Amino acid sequence: MNTANPPVPENCSTVGVVTVENAVLSARGVDVYYGEKRAIKDVSVDIARNQVLAMIGPSGCGKSTFLRCLNRMNDTIEGCRVTGSITLEGQDIYDRSQDVVPLRARIGMVFQKPNPFPKSIYENVAYGPRIHGLAADRVELDEIVHTSLQRAGLWDEVKDRLTQPGTGLSGGQQQRLCIARTIAVNPEIILMDEPCSALDPIATARIEDLIDELREQYAIAIVTHSMQQAARVSQRTAYFHLGDLIEVGETDRIFTNPRHKLTEDYITGRFG
């Protein structure tokens, strides 16, 4: 396993330390264009094992865009172009030889809006293991579904209605179902785009607990609009502004002692 960090470009203007010791995913000098429009400008940052990286910033600054680059979900957007390099354990994920199917199995994604498949709860969770051939038989599959739902904190609520449609759950339950679905394929990294934006405080707290728990096994990157949430769940925080990565650092440090003027304005509520 190659864990040596790729070098950070000389002209990187980000304040703070963008690299970490045990990085799994490293972005270096990443630019993203939607047609002519440059939505992400020269971003370099590492995502570490067993750690949560929070991405904050005003609306439209490119958080989702950057997150979607990390498992190549941007490939599906017509006219979207990514330059620079993103390496997963030393392997460039934008390399020609990189197959996106196994990549997305290794880097799971939870979307801003809960989007369960219009199939049964069981089928929702079993889908990933099925297409990737992770379970040898029905018993094993049942086991995967059970543990995934359990870990997503949903098992007790749905264990009697596994055959009912996943779309019939409440918003918060649907989001946890999507998380269960993602962890069912055992990804190494989980990307979450505002997973709690549509949830009440109780469901939010459950998901935050879950993130904390998941961190023990996975590397996590989460986009959030809630500064409190970033402070609660993350160890490192990255502040984006109009496509630039302004500042990265330990979450405690960012919130108590921001170095860049823009970061300070944002977290003290003078901006955005």
Partner 1 sequence: MNKAEQTRARVEAGLKRRYAAERRFRAYGLGAVLLGLAFVVLLFSTLVSQGWSAFRQAYVTLDVQYDAAIIDPEGTRDTATLSTADYAALVRASLKARFPEAQSRQETKALYALVSSSAAQAVQARILGDPSRIGGHERLTFLANDRVDQLLKGRIDRNLDEDSRSLTDQQVGWIDALAADGALSLHFNKGFFTQGDSREPEQAGVWGAVVGSLFTLGVTLLLSFPIGVSAAIYLEEFARRGKWTDLIEVNINNLAAVPSIVFGLLGLAVFLNFFGMPRSAPLVGGIVLTLLTLPTIIIASRAALKAVPPSIREAALGMGASRIQMVMHHVFPLAMPGILTGTIIGMARALGETAPLLMIGMVAFIVDVPKGLSDPATVLPVQVYLWADSAERAFVERTSAAILVLLAFLIVMNAAAVYLRNRFERRW
Contacts with Mg ion by CB under 5 A lie at 64
Alpha helix locations (H) across 135-257? 138-151, 155-158, 171-183, 201-214, 227-233, 251-256
28 burial class (0-12, 13-18, 19+ CB within 10 angstroms)?
buried
**Is residue 181 within the footprint of partner 1 (CB under 8 A)?**
yes
Q: Which of 9, 60, 168, 171 binds ligand ATP (CB under 6 A)?
A: 60
In whole angstroms, the minimum distance from the beta carbon of 262 to ligand ATP comes to 14
Question: Which runs of E-coded beta strand occur in the chain?
Answer: 23-34, 37-48, 52-56, 80-88, 91-92, 107-110, 189-193, 219-223, 236-241, 244-250
- Please enumerate in sequence order all residues whose Cβ is within 8 A of that of 184, keeping only pairs 6 or more positions apart, or say none: 125, 126, 128, 129, 144, 145, 148
| Residue of 204, 267, 199 lying closest to 239 (CA atoms) | 267
**Among 25, 73, 145, 248, which residue interacts with partner 1 (rule: CB under 8 A)?**
73
Q: Please report how close the Cβ of residue 58 comes to ligand ATP at its closest, in angstroms.
A: 7
From the list 59, 76, 137, 160, which residue makes contact with ligand ATP (rule: CB under 6 A)? 59
Do 116 and 152 form a contact (C-beta atoms < 8 A)? no
Question: In the bound complex, what is the minimum distance in angstroms from residue 193's beta carbon to Mg ion?
Answer: 6
What mask of x and - would describe binding to partner 1 in positions 136 to 165, judged by CB under 8 A?
Answer: -----------------------------x
Residues of span 102-131 touching partner 1 by CB under 8 A: 102-105, 108-109, 111, 113, 115-118, 127-128, 131
Q: Which of residues 26-55 bind ligand ATP (CB under 6 A)?
A: 34, 37, 39
Q: Does 101 bind partner 1 (CB under 8 A)?
A: yes
Site membership for ligand ATP, residue 224 (CB under 6 A): no
Among 65, 175, 229, 251, the residue binding ligand ATP under the rule CB under 6 A is: 65
Q: Give CA–CA dist 149/138, Å, rounded.
A: 16
Residues lying near partner 1 in the complex (CB under 8 A) are found at 71, 73, 76, 78, 101-105, 108-109, 111, 113, 115-118, 127-128, 131-132, 165, 167, 178, 181-182, 185
